[in-house]
Structures are given as C-alpha cells and as structure tokens.
Amino acid sequence: MSKFWSQVVHNLTPYVPGEQPKLPNLIKLNTNENPYGPSPKVLEALRAEAADSLRLYPDPDSNKLKAAIAEFHGLSSAQVFVGNGSDEVLAHTFQALLKHNAALLFPDITYSFYPVYCRLYGIQYQTIPLTGSFEINVDDYRQPNGGIIFPNPNAPTGRLLALAEIERLLKVNTDSVVVVDEAYIDFGGESAVVLVNQYPQLLVIHTLSKARSLAGLRVGYAVGHPDLIDALQRVKDSFNSYPLDRFAQAGAVAAMQDRAYFENIRQKVITTRTKLISDLEALDFSVLPSGANFIFARHVSRDGADLTAQLRERSIIVRHFKNPARIAPFLRITIGTEYQCRSLVEALREIEATANP
C-alpha cells in the first residue's frame, strides 16, 4: 500500500527507540528511565485529577505548569514552553527555529532523532565530528550555520560540556539559534538555563522523564527569550492546541514543586553511578566520564554486541549501537538501583569467568 505514501514518507528512516521488552524478572538498563518512582506528591496529584472534570478539555496553555517551571528556574512564564515530552518540544523547535537556508550543525555522534527531524522537515544539516575522546569542541562550530543543536550531556556518550564552553560559543554565534538539549543535565552538570537572560539566541530544552521519573506522563519544556517561545507557540497552536492532558499537567506541577524529592533521587543515581564505574573499571572496562544517568563503556578486549547478547541471556538488557563503527565496541548502560547494578556486575564477572576458565 506504499503507493499511497507521500514522497516525504518514502524518504524517511524513522527513529528507533530503545527496546521495551516484556520479559519476566528483567533488569532493564537500556532506555535511561529512572529506577525510582515519582514523588508521592505526584501520585496524590494524579489521584485528585481522576474526577468528573475529565470530561472537559485541559488548559491549552498549561499555565499552572509554566508558572511552576518558571518559579523553579527563576524566570517568567513568558520564557517557558511546554510540550508532550521533550521530543515534541524538539520537533516544534526544528520547525520553528532551525529551518533556514544555511545548514543546521550538530555532532556526528548524538541523539539520533536530530537527523530524523531534519529529513522530516526538509532541513539541511551538517554533522560535526566529536574529538578523539568523544567530546564536543565548540571551536568546530564557529562557521556559518542555520542553527546549532546538541545534547548536554551528549547522548549516547554521556560526556558533559562545561557551561563556560557553551557561553563561549554563544558569544560568537549570535545570528542563529543555539539549542542545548538538557535531558540529562540534572545528573551532574550545570544547566545553561542561567544564561537565557543574557543570550536571546539560546533555547534550553528539558524533560521530566529522567530526573523526575515521569517518562510515562510525557512532559517536556523549553526555556528561552519570549520571542523564541512565541515561535514555538505558533507552531504548537498550528499543530495541536491541547498537547498536555489534565494528568500530565497536574503531575508535572507536583514534580516541579517537590524539590526535596528531586534532589534526593538524583543524588541516589549519581552515587550509584560512581560505584558502577569503579566496579566496571575493575573488570577491564574503559568508561567515558558521564554527567548523565547512564554510562558509555567498552571492554578492553570483548566485543560490544557479544557482551550485549550474553547479558540478555542473563535477563539484563543494555543498549548497543552498531553504527557508527566508532562506537560499536561500547555499551550504553542506564544507572539502575544498587541491586540492579550489582546484578549487572556479577553477570559480567560470570561472563568473564566463562570465557577464561
């Protein structure tokens, strides 16, 4: 039936999300979900929302949520845009702010949704190689462009770009938008949100899926100059005027307001990450420095695909990327609970013992 497809569909290679297997007793370390549940205050807010009011449309502007986000970051609501997960926020950003005559720039190893959006919206793009140590060098982006976008920390590498380097880029790249995708910033980095009042070309995108344990609610947001937010709002209102339902808005407000729970959970993940890195290095893994709730690790001699398969046989799922070849030896491992990470390490010890009896 593909004869009915439009030409743009024929040209698409869709993004492939991490596997969501339904196997029993599975240790799932492949999709960077938080191993801990959301704040109890979120659950209270969701229960309260299960009422007769569900027959009514939600607030199309998500005003309470925008206010909660603005308060958290010390900004105004006019500087906040919300969407159905950060992927929808990114989609609107590509359409509203990154489609120009010059090429959009982003790293060659990064979030693989970026080239998908470019092909979907007909955006020219150019990939900029990471350094030999898988870092972003901002000097490589000092060239004519129609916009710049990168995750910080980068995905799937987990490497963090210092805030001073982002500001150095903003000082020279003044004629196009710079988008910093901070899905994982809460696990070890300093957010670029503190720069949005100084640099009108800066847009920072966040998600509540990771540090706030709300992947199942699908809530994301962007902060920036009101002119950038207005552009996103225009695209959103031309696409879907009610993107966030009542549950998503209520749960997200509660999550943004419960700072104590947020701080506790992210610190638990950071502590477990430190221990896991140490344990893996003791097993002859090389682990890239990580500011995220995952690590990117390769064994000194074992094949990444083979290790992934052997872990799966032991009901442990991690993420492996075949392409590009440069990262094929690596495993991307989500930071789980202490028990899950200990089980991973024990499985890797068992695999090593089997290979070297």
Mean pLDDT of 149-162: 97
- Concatenated DSSP letters for 221-275? EEEE-HHHHHHHHHHHHTT-S--S-HHHHHHHHHHHH-HHHHHHHHHHHHHHHHH
In this prediction, residue 105 carries a pLDDT of: 98
User: Where residue 1 falls among pLDDT bands split at 50, 70, 90?
Assistant: low
- pLDDT digit string (tens) for 11-65? 788 877 777 777 678 999 999 999 999 999 999 999 999 999 999 999 999 999 9
Among 93, 54, 52, 67, residue whose Cα is nearest residue 252 = 67
Q: Please name each of the domains of the chain with its CATH number.
A: 17-37+260-355 (3.90.1150.10), 40-257 (3.40.640.10)
What is the CA angle 162-275-184, rounded to 5?
A: 35
Q: Are 61 and 193 in contact (CB under 8 A)?
A: no
User: Where residue 4 falls among pLDDT bands split at 50, 70, 90?
Assistant: confident
- pLDDT digit string (tens) for 166-221? 999 999 999 999 999 999 999 999 999 999 999 999 999 999 999 999 999 999 99
Mean pLDDT of 78-107: 97
List CB contacts of 116: < 8 A, sequence separation 6 or more.
12, 13, 14, 15
Q: Are 170 and 141 in contact (CB under 8 A)?
A: no
In this prediction, residue 229 carries a pLDDT of: 98
In this prediction, residue 292 carries a pLDDT of: 98
- pLDDT digit string (tens) for 261-313? 999 999 999 999 999 999 999 999 999 999 999 999 999 999 999 999 999 99
β-sheet bridge partners, residue 195: none
Cα–Cα distance measured from residue 211 to residue 97, given in angstroms and rounded to the nearest whole number: 27
Q: In angstroms, what is the C-alpha Rg of the chain?
A: 21
Helix (H, G, I), strand (E, B) or coil at 50: coil
User: Where residue 10 falls among pLDDT bands split at 50, 70, 90?
Assistant: confident
- pLDDT digit string (tens) for 318-345? 999 988 889 999 999 999 999 999 999 9
Which pTM was predicted? 0.95
- Residue 20 to residues 95, 124, 183, Cα–Cα distance (Å): 29, 32, 20
Amino acid at 17: P
- pLDDT digit string (tens) for 228-259? 999 999 999 999 888 999 999 999 999 999 99
Cα–Cα distance measured from residue 349 to residue 351, given in angstroms and rounded to the nearest whole number: 5
Give me the percent of the chain exceeding a pLDDT of 90. 89
Mean pLDDT of 74-101: 97
Kindly report the number of other CB atoms within 10 A of residue 46's CB atom. 17
In this prediction, residue 218 carries a pLDDT of: 96
CA 67, chain centre distance (Å): 23
What average pLDDT does the structure give for the chain?
95
In this prediction, residue 314 carries a pLDDT of: 94
User: Where residue 357 falls among pLDDT bands split at 50, 70, 90?
Assistant: low
In this prediction, residue 304 carries a pLDDT of: 94
For residue 121, pLDDT beyond 70: yes
